[in-house]
A and B are shown apart, each in its own frame.
With several copies, the nearest count.
Chain A
Amino acid sequence: MENAPEQPPAFAMVNGIPFNQLPEDLYIPPDALEVFLALFEGPLDLLLYLIKRQNLDIVNIPVAEITQQYINYIQLMGLLNIELAAEYLVMAALLAEIKSRMLLPRRPDAEDEEDDPRATLIRRLQEYEGIRNAADEMDQLPRMERELFATEVDISALAIEQILPDIELKELLLAFQDVLKRVDQLSHHQITKEALSVRERMATILAKLEGENSLLFPQLFIRKEGRHGVVVSFLAILELSKERLIDIIQPEPFAQIRVRAASPAQAEAEND
C-alpha cells in the first residue's frame, strides 16, 4: 500500500481503497462498508479475518494488537448501526481479559498449555477455521440441481394399476351430516326421501336434455311410474326452472310445451 508506512494495515478495502480509520472521511460510502462488515459470520470469523489479513499464525496471535483491531471493528459496526450480536461483545471482553493476563508475569511452575490464557481461544479459532474451510469445500462439490441432474424418464406408457382409496356409504352420510351440522340454516328434516328423489329426477332430466335441442314436455315423464313418478318429475321440472337450469318454452298459445337445457352451448357440457 502506498500509504504512509506508519499507518496500520487497512481495516477494510472498499472499492479498492484501503480503509484505515473510523469513517470520518466521506470517501467511503457507508453502505458499502456496512455490507462488508455484515459479511462476518460472528466474532470468530472476524478474528480469523484479522489474523489472516496479517498473515499471522493462529498459534502466535499478538493478542494486544489483535484486541485493539477487534475493538476498533466492533466500534465501527456500532457506528454504522449494524446489529451487533452479543457474542461480539463477549469476545471483546475475553480478548481484553487475555491481554491483561498476558501482561502479568507467569508463574514459573505454570509451564502447562492449560494455563496459557490463549489456549482455549486458539483451539476454538482452529476448530472454526477447519469448519469454515470444509464448508467452502463442500460448497464446491458437484451437487444436484447445479452440476448434476436427475434423469426424468416418463412412465405413462406403463400399465400401472393404481389402488384407489375405498369409502363406505356410511362415511358419505357422516360427511354430509358434518356439513349440515356446520350449516345452521339447514336442518335434518330437509333430507327426506322425497326431496332426494326430486333431486335425482332433476339430474336425470338434465342428463336427458343434454345433447338435445329440446324435448317435448311429455317426454320428461315416464308413464309406467304412475302418479307418484309424474309428481316427482313435475316437481323436478319446476325446481329446475326455478333454479334457471332449464327453459320451458311455448312458442305460441296452445302449442306443445318444450323444455330445453338453459345452457345454449351444449358442446360445453363436458368442459367446465
Chain B
Amino acid sequence: MTVNVDSTVIVQPEYLMETKRIVEAILFAAKQPMTCKQIQQTFPELEQPGLQDVQQAIAAITEDYQSRPIELKQVASGYRFQVRSELSRWVSRLFEEKPPKYSRALLETLAIIAYRQPVTRGDIEDIRGVGVSSSIVQTLLEREWIKVIGHKEVPGKPALLGTTKQFLDYFNITTLNELPTLQRLDLSLDGTPTSAGKE
C-alpha cells in the first residue's frame, strides 16, 4: 500500500483491504474472464462485497488503466485484462508460433453456426452447397467455439450446433449482436436489387 505521506500513516487492518484492490488482484490472477458474481464469490464468505461494490470497483479499475498498454475489457463470459490491440505488432513477436489461420471452409461453417444457430450439419451443407468435413466441426468443438445444444426431432436426431461464450470471448465481443451485420439481398425477382436486410 502506498501512502499519502502526510505524517499520519494509518495502518489498515488486513480485513479492511480495499475491495477495489482485491478485485484487481482477482482479475489479474484469474486465468479466464470473471463475472461480477464470480469475483464476489472469490472473496472469503463473510467478507463478500455487494455486487454493486464489485461493479464500482471494476469501473474504477477500468479508469485507472485508461492510459496503460493493457485494458480491462468486458467480453461474453466476464471481465479480463488484455493487452491493447494497438500493441499487437510488438507483442505478437513474443510468440514463435504464428497465430492460427483459419480456412474459408472453417470460417464459413462458423459463420453459419453463429448467424443461423441452432443448425444441424445438414443445414450447414445446404447453405454452403457442399459437404462439411467432420474435421472442421471437430476443430470448432475442440476450440470450444461451438457446442451441441440439442438434437433435432427428425429421423437420425441430428445434433443442433450453436456458439459458446468462449467463441465470443475469443473474438472480443459480449453478445452475438456485436458480430458484423449479416447483409442479405432481398428476394424480389423483379429486378430491384439490394435493399439490404439485417439479421
Interfacial residues, chain A to chain B (CB-CB below 8 A): 41-45, 57-60, 85, 87, 91, 113, 116, 118-119, 122-124, 126-139, 141-167, 169-183, 186, 188, 191-193, 196-197, 199-200, 202-203, 206-207, 209-210, 243-245, 261-263, 265, 268-272
Cβ of B16 under 8 Å from chain A: no
On whether the beta carbons of A128 and B191 are closer than 8 Å, the reply is: no
Chain B, residue nearest A167 (CB): B102
- B170-192 CB mask vs A (1 if < 8 Å, else 0) is 11110111011111110111010
Chain A, residue nearest B176 (CB): A200
For A132, list chain B residues within 8 Å (CB). Answer: 108
Interfacial residues, chain B to chain A (CB-CB below 8 A): 28-31, 70, 73, 80-85, 87-88, 91-92, 95-102, 104-105, 107-108, 110-112, 114-118, 126-131, 143, 148-154, 157-160, 162-163, 169-173, 175-177, 179-185, 187-189, 191, 193-196, 199
On whether the beta carbons of B148 and A270 are closer than 8 Å, the reply is: yes
On whether the beta carbons of A151 and B29 are closer than 8 Å, the reply is: yes
Could you list 20 A-B pairs, sorted by A, with CB under 8 Å? A41-B128, A113-B188, A128-B128, A134-B180, A144-B82, A148-B83, A149-B88, A152-B31, A155-B95, A159-B92, A162-B95, A175-B108, A176-B108, A206-B150, A210-B149, A243-B152, A244-B153, A245-B152, A262-B153, A263-B150
For B81, list chain A residues within 8 Å (CB). Answer: 150-154
Report which of A122, A137, A163, A170 forms a contact with B96, defined as CB distance below 8 A: A163
For A147, list chain B residues within 8 Å (CB). Answer: 85, 88
For A133, list chain B residues within 8 Å (CB). Answer: 182-183
On whether the beta carbons of B85 and A244 are closer than 8 Å, the reply is: no
On whether the beta carbons of A245 and B150 are closer than 8 Å, the reply is: yes
On whether the beta carbons of B127 and A149 are closer than 8 Å, the reply is: no
On whether the beta carbons of A245 and B118 are closer than 8 Å, the reply is: yes
For B170, list chain A residues within 8 Å (CB). Answer: 143-144
**Also in contact, A176 and B112, with CB within 8 A (given A122-B187, A147-B88, A269-B148):** yes
On whether the beta carbons of B112 and A143 are closer than 8 Å, the reply is: no
Report which of B30, B92, B117, B179 forms a contact with A158, defined as CB distance below 8 A: B92
For A128, list chain B residues within 8 Å (CB). Answer: 127-129
- CB B78 to nearest CB in A, in angstroms, measures 11
- CB A108 to nearest CB in B, in angstroms, measures 17
Given known contacts A116-B189, A131-B127, A163-B98, what 6 new A-B pairs fall within 8 Å (CB)?
A148-B172, A155-B83, A164-B143, A165-B102, A265-B151, A272-B158
